Chains A and B, each alone.
Chain A
Amino acid sequence: MLVIRILRFVFGYMYFSAHGGFAERFINLCAGKKIPIWDVKYVENGITAYTTASAEKLIYEQAEKAGMIIEPVGRHGIPYFIRRYRFRFGVAIGLILTLVFTIILSSMVWYVRVEGYSELTEEQILNELEAAGLKPGVFKSKIDVKDLQMTMLYKIDQLSWISVNINGSTAVVEVRERKKPPEIIDTGKPSNIVAGHDGEIIKLEVYQGEGEVEEGSAVVKGDLLISGVETLETGKVLFHRARGSAIARTERDIVSVYNFSFSAKKRTSEKLRYSIYFFGLVIPLAPIQEADESYKTSHMLMSDETVLPVGIIRERFSSYSQGTLKLTKEQLRLLTLSDFYSQQKEKLSKVQEKKSSKFEINMSDSLCKVKGSYVCVEEIGVEKFFEVVR
């Protein structure tokens, strides 16, 4: 019954009342002419019934023959809707444009999702995919999946396998990264291991070559720790690539000094520019600004966790001039400490263990000085290659 109702709505139907004359004759004439009428109800001096939109004109003839007068009560369905709005060109154009846009947009890639990466970054893969022709806004029909996969494998050496699947408007890119083979040590080139820093040797492990220092001995930067030159009893000399580990106790100092007048860049102007991003097409709303630095942020529409290729791009253009800042005491202290901690992070990154540490902060009228003294345990061996002249 629901299907019949849907069909009637699609093809349109009219509810009418017919009065006067002979209802039976009217029904028989309609049946004879194969004019569909249904739900015929008896009312005083006539009937009410339904007929199709296409048969509307025909029933008037039959009603006239039967001496009845037809009065339409209601018209329903798509044909009547179209007839009612047939002169509203805006609606028609809107519907056509909607249809065209729907067809065009559904044939495009809206979102590219990358799965299975670990060492590589998503941005790196997306950039290569974009260069190879896969990005939001491209037509699905223009993507040659096999060619794209081959190009990606060729361009990104770390990839061992890639699969591009286009599901609806989403391109799902699955990747597998190549496992790195173990590093092959070039034993053909002779080398020594020397001290990279002053210290006291705690532990010396020699894998290849000859140990030149004892555990507990003090060394200075550049001292030979493991030699790659081996002299045999026969008097012959062999050259190796020295390999081993030299763990030593070292002393390190980190100093950070700043004064109250601080040379810094001062922002002189800042301008914003907005652009509309629509399926890969960027429409700027203002001309490009001249600036020392620009910073771009994108605000894309989202549906659940899917980023849609429609949004606004905001660019901030900043110009700077070199100037001198007069710092307050607190600012100077914070600046010096901040520099000190970043130095500490960088210089002590390879230290295995910190045995002890001591800090000093000196604030005078003109400057602030932060000093850190550390006793560390670390690897000090540095490989140094040498040439053999025959």
Chain B
Amino acid sequence: MAKSKNDSKGKPEQKESIMTKLASELEVPSEVLPGVFHMELLENREAVIDGCKGVQEYNDERIILKLNKKTVTFLGLNLELKAFTNERVIISGYIANIGFSD
């Protein structure tokens, strides 16, 4: 059954990069591939993000990080950038919300 253009506009479009598809097909961990970000959470107190390309916004309630083709927004309280080295960012504080956007 073919989907109409209107149907596809109704839902957010789920784009999957070629690299992610390739990793999925080859059953290779996606974090080893270039351009794929990797995020780990320690409860809602600390987040470790690999593959960060820069900081778009920074204050103690909101941190927006630029990833390869997406941005990730951390909302919370007393947010702090513990470290930023070699595309690895560690954010600590009370993380209330994480959102992604293209």
Residues of A within 8 A of B (CB): 23-24, 27-28, 30-32, 34, 36-42, 47, 49
Bitwise, B57-77 to A at CB < 8 A (1) or not (0) is 111100000000000000000
Determine whether the beta carbon of A40 is less than 8 Å from that of B84: yes
Given contacts A34-B85, A36-B85, contact A27 B58 (CB under 8 A): yes
Contact of A27 among B55, B80, B82 (CB under 8 A): B55
> What residues of chain A lie closer than 8 Å to B80, measured between beta carbons?
39-42
> What residues of chain A lie closer than 8 Å to B83, measured between beta carbons?
36-39
Given contacts A39-B82, A40-B84, contact A47 B58 (CB under 8 A): yes
Determine whether the beta carbon of B84 is less than 8 Å from that of A27: yes
Bitwise, B40-66 to A at CB < 8 A (1) or not (0) is 000000000000001111111000000
> What residues of chain A lie closer than 8 Å to B58, measured between beta carbons?
23-24, 27, 40, 42, 47
> What residues of chain A lie closer than 8 Å to B79, measured between beta carbons?
42
Is there a chain A Cβ closer than 8 Å to B36's Cβ? Answer: no
Is there a chain A Cβ closer than 8 Å to B81's Cβ? Answer: yes
Interface of chain B, main secondary structure? strand
Contact of A24 among B56, B85, B86 (CB under 8 A): B56
Determine whether the beta carbon of A31 is less than 8 Å from that of B54: yes
Q: How far is the CB of B17 from chain A (nearest CB, A)?
A: 23
Interface size (B, Cβ < 8 Å)? 16
Q: Which residue of A lies closest to B79 (CB)?
A: A42
Bound-state Cα–Cα, A37 to B83, Å: 6
Counting from the closest, the 10 A-B pairs by CB-CB distance are: A40-B81, A42-B60, A28-B54, A24-B55, A42-B59, A38-B83, A27-B55, A31-B84, A24-B58, A41-B80
Q: Which residue of A lies closest to B61 (CB)?
A: A42
Given contacts A41-B60, A42-B58, A42-B60, contact A27 B85 (CB under 8 A): no
Determine whether the beta carbon of B82 is less than 8 Å from that of A38: yes
Q: Which residue of B lies closest to A49 (CB)?
A: B81
Bound-state Cα–Cα, A99 to B65, Å: 51
> What residues of chain A lie closer than 8 Å to B55, measured between beta carbons?
24, 27-28, 31
Q: Which residue of A lies closest to B88 (CB)?
A: A31
Q: How far is the CB of B3 from chain A (nearest CB, A)?
A: 40
Q: How far is the CB of A58 from chain B (nearest CB, A)?
A: 14
> What residues of chain A lie closer than 8 Å to B82, measured between beta carbons?
38-40
Among A23, A28, A36, max chain B CB count under 10 A is at A28
12 residue pairs from A and B, CB less than 8 Å apart: A24-B55, A24-B58, A27-B55, A27-B84, A28-B54, A31-B54, A34-B85, A34-B86, A38-B83, A38-B84, A39-B83, A40-B84
Among B57, B80, B86, max chain A CB count under 10 A is at B80
Q: Which residue of A lies closest to B87 (CB)?
A: A31
Bound-state Cα–Cα, A34 to B80, Å: 19
Q: Which residue of B lies closest to A28 (CB)?
A: B54
> What residues of chain B lie closer than 8 Å to A49, measured between beta carbons?
81
Q: How far is the CB of B91 from chain A (nearest CB, A)?
A: 10
Q: Which residue of A lies closest to B84 (CB)?
A: A31
Among B57, B58, B82, B85, max chain A CB count under 10 A is at B58
Bound-state Cα–Cα, A28 to B57, Å: 11
Determine whether the beta carbon of A37 is less than 8 Å from that of B60: no
> What residues of chain A lie closer than 8 Å to B87, measured between beta carbons?
31
Bound-state Cα–Cα, A24 to B54, Å: 8
> What residues of chain B lie closer than 8 Å to A27, measured between beta carbons?
55, 58, 81, 84
Q: How far is the CB of A5 from chain B (nearest CB, A)?
A: 14
Q: How far is the CB of A31 from chain B (nearest CB, A)?
A: 5
Bound-state Cα–Cα, A27 to B55, Å: 7
> What residues of chain B lie closer than 8 Å to A47, measured between beta carbons?
58
Q: How far is the CB of B8 from chain A (nearest CB, A)?
A: 35
Among B55, B57, B59, B86, max chain A CB count under 10 A is at B55
Among B57, B60, B86, B87, max chain A CB count under 10 A is at B60
11 new A-B contacts, CB < 8 A, other than A40-B84, A41-B80, are A24-B57, A24-B58, A30-B84, A31-B55, A31-B84, A32-B54, A34-B85, A37-B84, A40-B80, A40-B82, A42-B79
Bound-state Cα–Cα, A36 to B59, Å: 19
Q: Which residue of A lies closest to B85 (CB)?
A: A36
Q: Which residue of A lies closest to B62 (CB)?
A: A42
Bound-state Cα–Cα, A343 to B99, Å: 111
Q: How far is the CB of A3 from chain B (nearest CB, A)?
A: 15
